[in-house]
Amino acid sequence: MSPARKRTVRLVVALSAAVVLASALIYTSFSAASPTVTPSQLVREGVVGREYQLTGKVKAGSVRHEGQTLDFAVQDRAGEAAIPLSYTGQVPDPFKEGREVIVTVVKRDGRYVGQRDSLITKCPSKYKVTPSKGKTY
């Protein structure tokens, strides 16, 4: 085989390997991913036994510690629909009522259960878009 031919073969082999790996990657990402939903979406479309990433605000007045479990409800950012859930695991520092959270939940036995250590609280915005009173440029 001439050197040029060898090079072409190598290139084809390498590219095919890359395509195969990339396809494996892409395929598994779709199956390993959990859909991101808001409470109203979850209420509408939630399927029992499936994992979801629930995002929203912690509903005021819903937080209760029961031993190792933390019960709270996640509310739509701009709405009323709220999902109550029980969560065990690490609770990040910024967690409190009114804060935005992301938590992985599964519906089991009619209740929503937060997966262990999956609770993420959004850092209180460093760059918050606060309406400033007075003169803005």
Partner 1 sequence: MPELGRACLLLALGVCIYGIGASLYGVRRGRPDFALSGRRSVYALAGILTVAFAVLELAFLRSDFSFNTVADTSSVTTPTFYKAAAVWSSQEGSLLLWAWLLSLWSSLVLFLTRRRLREESAYATAILLGFAGFFDCLMIFYATPFATTNPAPAEGVGLDPLLRHPSMMIHPPMLYSGYTLCIVPLAFGMGALLARKVDAEWIRATRRFALAAWLFLGVGIMLGARWSYSELGWGGYWGWDAVENASLMPWLTGTAFLHSLMIQEKRGMLKVWNVSLVLATGTLAIMGTFLVRSGILSSIHAFGGATLGVPFVTLIGVLIAASIYLVYTRREMLASEHRLDSLLSRESIFLANNVVLVGLCFVIFWGTYFPLISEALTGHSASVGPPWFDRYTVPLALILVLLSGIGPVIAWRRATVANARRNFLAPLGCGLVVLAALLIAGISTGKPLAIAMFCCAAFVLGSVGQEYWRGARLRRASSGEAPPLALFALVRRNRRRYGGYIVHIGMAVLFVGVAASSSFQHASELSLSPGQSTKVGAYTVRYVRPTGTITSKEDAAHTGATMSLGAVLDVSKNGKHVATLTPSEGFYDSGEPAQGSVGHLIGGQAVSHVSMDGGITRDVWSAIAPDISTPRLLRVMSIANKTIPLVRPDEGMIALAVLVREYLKAPPPAQFHLIVSPLVLWIWIGGLIVIGGALIAAWPAPSAIRRRVRVGLRSPEDRRDRAPASPERGLARV
**Residue of the chain from 25, 42, 72, 75 that contacts partner 1 (CB under 8 A):** 25
Closest CA to 86 of 102, 101, 66: 66
- Look-up of token digits 């031919």: 5
Interaction of residue 100 with partner 1, rule CB under 8 A: yes
Interaction of residue 79 with partner 1, rule CB under 8 A: no
Interaction of residue 127 with partner 1, rule CB under 8 A: yes
Interaction of residue 8 with partner 1, rule CB under 8 A: no
The two tokens of residue 86 are: 């029980």
Other beta carbons less than 10 A from residue 40's beta carbon:
17
**Residue of the chain from 78, 93, 109, 110 that contacts partner 1 (CB under 8 A):** 93
Closest CA to 119 of 137, 106, 104: 104
Q: How far is the CB of 42 from partner 1 (least distance, A)?
A: 12
Interaction of residue 60 with partner 1, rule CB under 8 A: no
The two tokens of residue 99 are: 């804060």
Q: How far is the CB of 33 from partner 1 (least distance, A)?
A: 4
User: Could you tell me how far CA 22 lies from the centroid of its own chain?
Assistant: 24
Q: Which of 81/102 has CB closer to partner 1?
A: 102
Q: Would you state the torsion angle of the CA atoms of residues 20, 24, 30, 31, taken in this order, to the nearest 10 degrees?
A: 150
By the criterion CB under 8 A, which residues form the site for partner 1?
7, 14, 18, 21-22, 25-26, 28-30, 32-36, 53, 55, 65, 67-68, 89-94, 96, 100, 102, 104, 120-130, 132-137
